Amino acid sequence: MDRQDSIKVNVDGVRGFGLRNVSSHASISEMDDFDLSKLLDKPRLNIERKRSFDERSLSELSIGLTRGLENYESTYSPGRSVLDTPASSARNSFEPHPIVADAWEALRRSLVHFRDQPVGTIAAYDHASEEVLNYDQVFVRDFVPSALAFLMNGEPDIVKNFLLKTLQLQAWEKKIDRFKLGEGVMPASFKVLHDPVRKTDTIVADFGESAIGRVAPVDSGFWWIILLRAYTKSTGDLSLAEKPECQKGIKLIMTMCLSEGFDTFPTLLCADGCSMIDRRMGIYGYPIEIQALFFMSLRCALALLKHDEEGNEFIERIVKRLHALSYHMRSYFWLDFQQLNDIYRYKTEEYSHTAVNKFNVIPDSIPEWVFDFMPMRGGYFIGNVSPARMDFRWFALGNCIAILSCLATPEQASAIMDLIEERWEELVGEMPLKICYPAIESHEWRIVTGCDPKNTRWSYHNGGSWPVLLWFLTAACIKTGRIQIARRAIDLAESRLLKDGWPEYYDGTSGRYVGKQARKYQTWSIAGYLVSKMMLEDPSHLGMISLEVDKQMKPVMKRSSSWTC
């Protein structure tokens, strides 16, 4: 089938917009059991199909319960459906917003087929744009919201095809010039080439060897594991994850990120441009975006790995790493008013185990803006921590994933939401959501970005507003019981997205302008909106992308006493 044909079929397939009425999904209640102490002698996962959330997930979802009640926001309680929430009222009288149908149509138009099977969605379907670059490829990270939308709509096949196809690509030998990449690396993107004469389809993949700046995507492998769990959780079909090739795929990714070397931190050392922010933006080191995804994928791997001999070895290593990583992140990446004040008063040049200022951060390096930005109520995980360097910027994806994976404690999760509320103008403004805050300007921009004209202040990765981030925010809101925030954000997006042609990003301090070089009909902007709508409509979908609290994890210790444990 050539591309024209495949598009025709897709368009035909969207009559009625393919919006299925899926009221409930299987959920695997046992899958997220995260009792570290019992893990090694736990029997094989026992799968149970249930309607919607099981009681435990509902009660654990309600970490915002107390404040939710105080603040008139929606809450969840065991044994009931969602009470007094917009979702419940809408559930009985569900009338999709007019742009929902348009979004489904656009999403289906972006489908990519390999030998007649849908295997992904292209990054952008923007015919008006003069340069295609690689926006006609299936990006692993970009496909995640598409996959979630299809899963939520009861269409898991495309997700399964995608997972298997990318797994085959992982097995390729990957080289940049003469240098071979780790076996487990997953591609940033791939493209299906259709030969209409020979009637053959072939795939070309990019592991960083063609990417601008030659950056390898650290996030792709993590997203692959997270998506495999979402698929398994949503369908109840464990057979895919149990396939030997899938188990091997997980292990290859784990082997790469659990390997021991010179590191003194449990966080993962990364090059600049290794994630959604795939150009030089000063995120080299230990970026929060990657650390949060790393943590989440470790937990997902734990749920997916078989408990055979080899599996158990991995499980043991993962459990150890999770302990160290959560301790490190919760202690050293966390910033709130108190912590900021403590850092401001840090002594420097402390030698020995008793040091409070372990990384020798010089208080003078704290940027001015952060003193005004930090509210009395709220906090967040900062962008990066390494010797004498704290990147105080706020990053959306990392903080939302920290909530969804429970890297953030329940208190930290509420504080992150408090901060978003308190700093609404700065972080949401007129279009959810800023990718990071604040923008880098002038001399700092020259040094940090290498004078990147795409990443000028308040544009693109440098403080631009990305509609795709709406689904992360919505999921975090549901998890913390802050539905009202999600509704406000979705209303903002709805008022602009269709009218503006589903841009990739917006520019400006409040995200008012369609981005300078933003693609139109950017697939993840479209899918992200649909996922947000469906999750709000039926919050039980959240279980696909959210993990439950690990009751066994030790509470974080005070900085000054940490050296003893």
Residues in touch with ligand GLC (CB under 6 A): 123, 139, 141-142, 276, 278
Nearest CB to ligand GLC, comparing residues 133 and 171: 133
Classify the C-alpha dihedral 2-124-206-256 as positive or negative.
negative
Least separation, in Å, of the C-beta of 46 and ligand GLC? 37
Alpha-carbon distances, residue 412 vs 63, 98, 339, 355 (angstroms): 11, 36, 13, 25
Structure tokens at 482: 């802050």
Residue 45 has what DSSP assignment? P
Q: At what angle do helices 218-235 and 244-258 cross, to 10 degrees?
A: 140
Nearest CB to ligand GLC, comparing residues 410 and 450: 450
Least separation, in Å, of the C-beta of 276 and ligand GLC? 4
**Which residue is closest to ligand GLC by CB?**
123
Token pair 């990657």 is at which residue?
290
Cβ atoms of 516 and 440 within 8 Å: the answer is no
Structure tokens at 279: 């150009």
Q: State how far the Cα of 517 lies from the Cα of 529, in Å rounded to an integer.
A: 21
Using DSSP's 3-state secondary structure scheme, residue 393 falls into strand
> DSSP per residue over 502-513, as a string?
--S-EESTTS-E
Nearest CB to ligand GLC, comparing residues 160 and 454: 454
Q: State how far the Cα of 185 lies from the Cα of 153, in Å rounded to an integer.
A: 30
Q: State how far the Cα of 560 lies from the Cα of 112, in Å rounded to an integer.
A: 54
Least separation, in Å, of the C-beta of 219 and ligand GLC? 9
Q: State how far the Cα of 351 lies from the Cα of 357, in Å rounded to an integer.
A: 9
Least separation, in Å, of the C-beta of 229 and ligand GLC? 21
Nearest CB to ligand GLC, comparing residues 52 and 137: 137
Nearest CB to ligand GLC, comparing residues 129 and 339: 129
Least separation, in Å, of the C-beta of 541 and ligand GLC? 23
Nearest CB to ligand GLC, comparing residues 31 and 140: 140
Query: Helix (H) and strand (E) counts for the chain?
Result: 21, 13
Nearest CB to ligand GLC, comparing residues 82 and 276: 276
Least separation, in Å, of the C-beta of 241 and ligand GLC? 25
Least separation, in Å, of the C-beta of 412 and ligand GLC? 26
**Backbone φ and ψ of 9, nearest 5°:** -60, -40
Least separation, in Å, of the C-beta of 502 and ligand GLC? 12
Residue 62 buriedness (CB in 10 A; 0-12 / 13-18 / 19+):
buried
Nearest CB to ligand GLC, comparing residues 379 and 467: 467
